[in-house]
Amino acid sequence: MSSPVESQTTREIDRSHGIECLKQMLRIRRLEERCAELYTETKIRGFLHLYNGEEAVAVGVVQALGPDDAIVATYREHGHALVRGISTRAVMAELYGKQEGCSRGRGGSMHLFDAKTRFYGGNAIVGGGLPIAVGLALADKMRAQQRISSCFFGDGAVAEGEFHECLNLAALWRLPVLYVCENNLYAMGTRLDLAQSTTDVAKKAAAYGIAAEAVDGMDVLAVEVAAQRAVAHIRAGEGPFFLECKTYRFRAHSMYDPELYRSKAEVEEWKQRDPISNLVSLLRQQGAIGDSDLEHIERNVAKELDDAVAFAEAGTWEPPADLERFVYSERRQT
Amino acid sequence: MSTAPSQATYRDAIREAIREAMHKDDRVFLMGEDVGRYGGCFAVSKGLLEEFGPERIRDTPMSESAFVGAGIGAALGGMRPIVEIMTVNFSLLALDQIMNNAATFLHMSGGQFNVPLVIRMATGGGRQVAAQHSHSLEGWFAHIPGIRVLVPGTLEDARGMLATALEDPDPVLIFEHAGLYNMKGQLPADAGPMDIERARVRRTGRDVTIISYGAMLWRCLDAAEILAKNGIEAEVVDLRTLRPLDEATFLESLGRTHRALVVDEGWRSGGISAEICARIQEKAFYDLDAPVQRICGVEVPTPYPKHLEDASFPQVATIVAAVDAMVPAHG
């Protein structure tokens, strides 16, 4: 298990599960598209990092987790939040900065939090979430709780010292951490091979004695199967697991990015591997889905987003008198 | 559980506080570099590994960012970690975790995720360990909303503040001056949780208020002794906590003395001493009979040779001289 291997996708898929994966990816894609529009309309402000192209990673991995497991994500985390079950309304209200948002509007796009689903935030410091996942897993181990702490990060985080510190610590203490590297080949605008002497990311994990696997991150079923293997490994008490998902970001890094660092041809090439169209083709080939099914899914997703936008629009601003709340806890605890 | 010795050191006081907390609450554990087999860089945790085992007295690799962040995660996960950063100098390697995670999680999550974490670290200079091992950065940390900053200067505070810090739902940083670990004194056997929000008047006097904390507190008290022989009665305020800063105590004091001197080992520019002066100016300007004065660390990287190091930190003689210059002729 300790050497990185390309995983093989099982191509015989269960129809309803395939459709569920498709639905989840479409929810994310359409949310992100709606976000871009709302940003242009100045309804959403600040930094906005969209997940288009990478949907298979969040959907594949989060579906493999149990309800008690924890998620620590990055500033590109709308998709993870949706799949995890944070309501589209609460996510959209958060993007608007309304107090009905999942973080009362105080976090915004980069800081979605939800205690009910153990969603420990979008962390907007590259690599900053890795130690949090180590600590959550340490607490579980010390309290003999059979839970997994999953941690998403990009290839940029691999260059941070914290990445190496945390991989070592989780391996040393055999902690139940699932590391998920969303390798989209660019740390903001710097290509992986311009930042790393060794571009095989999974190998770095293997160097710490962590079971590691690289998987096609554009293939939701492959990601899910690999994530299930990872989860089984961790639940068996075998220590942490490192899953590298090779993926690609279709849109700019953020809304400020003029994308000078990559060619349109490269982006187009990757779009041929769009995880959503690929799954649609596969489901069509197997006769599992037709035009009317697709239209039905799209209609439902659009309805869900319309509802979320209406909810966010109707949401309320937290009064400035409350500004200094939540700097310190309002009640003592035991 | 043994009772605390009546004659103890500052180091013993902290060790007793940790022991007591660990006996009382099995969610409490200590984690940091060399806290276990080595017994702690300053021998604070000596013997605790034998008593509590390696799960709860947890040696870490030299990975400050990872183990401080892991402390945050463990706190979020239901534990009550005490993270020891060997010295404040190395806390810079974990600054991101302290500032961007520990201090922000509650706020960013709209009140959902508080971080009940205690971080202890040694601070301060005066041991001829030069420019990279002599920092006093507690004033810096006091700049950050979302954390508490404690600076115990006495055995009693070293013993009692930790218990209160562990009961706090939010991150608490405790700065233990390295020069105080060997300080001896009496320790009440029943020392327990105590107030961590109020400054204390350690010596009363009518002529001038000297505001300080930590190791400098003792220099101020020594200076006050000398001044008293010359007929000047200095009141000495021990801040105890730099965030939240208890301004009421020193404002009340200088309302009586009408003069204030701030003594801080940290650098002058933008330091906690500047904050104290600003608060006095804002809230007590018309109470003052003289400009507020400061004695701070001289703004150089701390030099190695003793004579230069001494010259870079506030000394009893400089405190006495400053007060003499502030208080009109007496006799």
Per the CB < 8 A criterion, the answer to whether A182 and A54 are in contact is yes
| Average pLDDT of span B109-124 | 98
pLDDT in tens, A259-295: 999 999 999 999 999 999 999 999 999 999 999 999 9
Predicted pLDDT at B329: 73
Residue with tokens 């007496």: B330
pLDDT in tens, A192-248: 999 999 999 999 999 999 999 999 999 999 999 999 999 999 999 999 999 999 999
pLDDT in tens, A83-124: 999 999 999 999 999 999 999 999 999 999 999 999 999 999
Q: What is the ipTM of this complex?
A: 0.95
Per the CB < 8 A criterion, the answer to whether B211 and B250 are in contact is yes
The answer to whether residue A333 scores a pLDDT higher than 60 is no
Per the CB < 8 A criterion, the answer to whether A242 and A35 are in contact is no
User: Is the preceding peptide bond at A258 cis, omega within 30 degrees of 0?
Assistant: no
Test B101 with A132 for CB contact under 8 angstroms: yes
Residues 6+ apart with CB under 8 A from B205: B224, B228, B232, B233, B234, B235, B236, B257
Query: Strand B7-9 vs strand A190-191: parallel, antiparallel, or unpaired?
Result: unpaired
The answer to whether residue B4 scores a pLDDT higher than 50 is no
Determine whether domain A15-314 maps to CATH 3.30.300.30: no
B-contacting residues in A 51-70 (Cβ below 8 Å): 70
pLDDT confidence bin for A8, thresholds 50/70/90: very low
| Average pLDDT of span B45-74 | 98
Q: Which domains does chain B have, with CATH numbers?
A: 7-186 (3.40.50.970), 200-326 (3.40.50.920)
Of B107, B167, B168, the CB nearest to A327: B107
A280: closest CA of chain B, how far (Å)? 36
Query: Strand A186-187 vs strand A190-191: parallel, antiparallel, or unpaired?
Result: antiparallel
Give A246's DSSP letter: E
Coil, strand or helix at A276: helix
Predicted pLDDT at B189: 73
Residue with tokens 């100098």: B89
Distances (CA, A) of B53 to A123, B56, B78, B134: 34, 6, 20, 32
pLDDT in tens, A125-168: 999 999 999 999 999 999 999 999 999 999 999 999 999 999 99
Predicted pLDDT at B124: 97
A149 has a chain B CB within 8 A of its CB:
yes
Which residues of chain B have a CB within 8 Å of the CB of A125?
96, 100-101
Query: Strand B7-9 vs strand B184-186: parallel, antiparallel, or unpaired?
Result: antiparallel
B167: closest CA of chain A, how far (Å)? 7
Question: CA–CA separation, A331 vs A321, rounded Å?
Answer: 19
Which residues of chain A have a CB within 8 Å of the CB of B114?
329, 333
Predicted pLDDT at B187: 85
B301 has a chain A CB within 8 A of its CB:
no
Predicted pLDDT at A202: 95
Question: CA–CA separation, B53 vs B60, rounded Å?
Answer: 14
Question: CA–CA separation, B90 vs B84, rounded Å?
Answer: 11
Least confident of A2-6, A163-167, A318-322: A2-6
Per the CB < 8 A criterion, the answer to whether B199 and B246 are in contact is yes
Coil, strand or helix at B160: helix
Of B29, B77, B100, the CB nearest to A125: B100
pLDDT confidence bin for A332, thresholds 50/70/90: low
Predicted pLDDT at A6: 38
| Average pLDDT of span B31-44 | 97
B-contacting residues in A 281-310 (Cβ below 8 Å): none
User: Is the preceding peptide bond at A240 cis, omega within 30 degrees of 0?
Assistant: no
pLDDT confidence bin for A11, thresholds 50/70/90: low
Test A135 with B77 for CB contact under 8 angstroms: yes
Domain ranges for chain A, please list them.
15-314
Which residues of chain A have a CB within 8 Å of the CB of B97?
128, 131
Give A318's DSSP letter: P
Q: How remote is the C-alpha of B292 from its chain's centroid?
A: 23
The answer to whether residue A322 scores a pLDDT higher than 80 is yes
Per the CB < 8 A criterion, the answer to whether B272 and B143 are in contact is no
Residues 6+ apart with CB under 8 A from A12: none
Predicted pLDDT at A35: 98
Which residues of chain B have a CB within 8 Å of the CB of A331?
169
pLDDT in tens, B228-246: 999 999 999 999 999 999 9
Mean pLDDT of chain B, nearest integer: 96
Report, as residue numbers or ranges, the catalytic residues of B.
64, 133
Test A333 with B97 for CB contact under 8 angstroms: no
A159 has a chain B CB within 8 A of its CB:
no
Question: CA–CA separation, B123 vs B86, rounded Å?
Answer: 9
Which residues of chain A have a CB within 8 Å of the CB of B79?
138-139, 142-143
Tokens of A236: 């068996």
| Torsion (CA) B200, B203, B207, B210 in degrees, nearest 10 | -50
The answer to whether residue B307 scores a pLDDT higher than 50 is yes
In chain B, which residue's Cα lies nearest the Cα of A327? B146
Predicted pLDDT at A5: 36
Give the residue from A324, A326, A329 with the most B CB atoms within 10 Å of its CB, the best one to mutate: A326
pLDDT confidence bin for A2, thresholds 50/70/90: very low
Test B77 with A125 for CB contact under 8 angstroms: no
The answer to whether residue B171 scores a pLDDT higher than 60 is yes
In chain B, which residue's Cα lies nearest the Cα of A133? B73
Question: CA–CA separation, B40 vs B46, rounded Å?
Answer: 6
Which residues of chain A have a CB within 8 Å of the CB of B65?
131, 161-162, 165
